[in-house]
Amino acid sequence: MDLDLVLVRAFVTVVDQAHFGRAAEALSVSQQAVSKRVARLEAQLGARLLTRDASGVTLTAAGRRFLGPARMALAAGDLATAAARREERPLRIDVWGHLFAPMRTVQQALQHAPGLDVELGPGRDLPAVISALSRGEIDAGFGRVHPAGVPDGDLAHRLVRLEPVDAILGPGHPLAGRDELRPADLRGSTLVFPAAASRLDFLVRFADQFGIPDRSEGPNLGFAHFIDRVCAGPRSFSLLPADVPLPAGTAIRTVPLVDPTPLYAWSLSWRRDDHHPRLPELAEAFAAAGRASRWLEYRPSADWLPDPDRAQARSLSSERTGFPPPGKPFRPPAQQPGR
């Protein structure tokens, strides 16, 4: 049978909206039309895809199996239409980890691809970006991929930058006058989390590794509020990538960390079956920026990374590209000497 993408789009929209009425609004048709389209699709497939009850819409087993390929079919249809019209939609990239200013790195990478048309959007966190990738709403994500953050299968990721991390301390902290600090020097201080610890794997692993039991969590109310919390505690500190700009006039002190230097791992994520023709160009832009600014240097004897990041960092090199052709997995190249 030949799938009618109008029917498929109605089904996927109902799943995404979890409601026939909201799906109808999103598609600018009546709720009755959406119901008829889904019913017709189910009749053509010979399988029930959705069930409706008082709590909303639920996928059947057949619906769960059908959903992933259905999203891929819609994405392929959109690309085919654009190709026939000689149109090319922009690459859609979501970034997350906003307190660590991910746009700095994206902007530097895009300078190496001045003709690349991109749409940048905010992602709430890694799970939200993975969800958007899976639905075909975006082509790539940029941020930190924590352990087991990207499931095996359709999604892949690669490290593109290892950024040194500084300690930030309030002016009253007894270590604020130091020119540099070792992570072990921060034992006895309180690590301030800019959000819930469950969403900040890097900070949790740092505290566990260097024996820092005192931790202060709080709601993410923005960068200025986070800085104020660090300044308010007489022994409070936190971590920020070294190039993150601080608010003008702040009293916060930044002190480099050494012996070892923590590195924050930034990654580019994508869907293996995304066939946007400019996706390899995006990866090459990150690779070119990495070569120019030495983003991928790693000294195992002097730098610290969480265990899952360390295995990937050891296999990095300044290869010219490394982004796979559509449908092919990325395989890290052989290790080359670091800095």
The string of DSSP letters for 63-74 reads HHHHHHHHHHHH
User: If phi over 0 gives left and psi between -120 and 50 gives alpha, with beta otherwise, what is residue 180?
Assistant: beta
Q: pLDDT tens digit string along 202-233?
A: 999 999 999 999 999 988 888 889 999 999 98
Sign of CA dihedral 312, 316, 321, 322: negative
Listed range (60-69, 140-149, 161-170, 256-265) with the worst mean pLDDT:
140-149
Structure-token match 């890694």, residue found: 126
Query: DSSP for 231-285?
Result: HHSTTEEEEEETTPPPPTT---EEEEB-SSEEEEEEEEEEETT---TTHHHHHHH
183 pLDDT band, cuts 50/70/90, is very high
What is the Cα–Cα distance from 94 to 161, expressed in whole angstroms? 17
Q: What is the pLDDT of residue 318?
A: 36
pLDDT exceeds cutoff 50 at 319: no
302 pLDDT band, cuts 50/70/90, is very high
Sign of CA dihedral 273, 71, 102, 113: positive
Mean pLDDT score, 324-336: 36
pTM greater than 0.75: no
pLDDT exceeds cutoff 50 at 312: yes
Mean pLDDT of the chain: 85
